[in-house]
Amino acid sequence: MSGGNAWITQYGDLNDYVVHEGNWEAKSDGLVLVHALQFSLVDVTLPAGAKAQLRRRGELQRTTAEIALARAFHVLRLWFAFA
């Protein structure tokens, strides 16, 4: 992490960490939450073959069907607006 401070908690660890600019390595292969206390640049590295799901707070994950349905409604709304 470069610049700023972040609060970090991870699955299986009762402790939370406030990390100031520098290196920090997760001890868990489970869920790790990072909350920036001020503007921070966080580098995420993973072992080969591992997957990460990154998202901002408040951002909802939508299924492919929900995305397709939203696009279809948007197209219909545009079509009816010009009809």
Angle at 50 between CA 46 and CA 52, to 5 degrees: 75
Query: What does the pLDDT read at residue 52?
Result: 65
Structure tokens, 27: 């001890």
Q: What is the mean pLDDT of the chain?
A: 78
Structure tokens, 24: 């920090």
List the chain domain ranges: 1-44
Give every residue of the chain whose pLDDT is below 70, as ranges: 46-61, 83
Residue 24 is classified by DSSP as -
Q: Record the pTM.
A: 0.52
Query: What does the pLDDT read at residue 34?
Result: 85
* Per-residue pLDDT reduced to its tens digit, 23-41: 787 777 778 888 888 888 8
Query: What does the pLDDT read at residue 44?
Result: 76
Rounded to whole angstroms, the Cα distance separating 1 from 5 reads 8
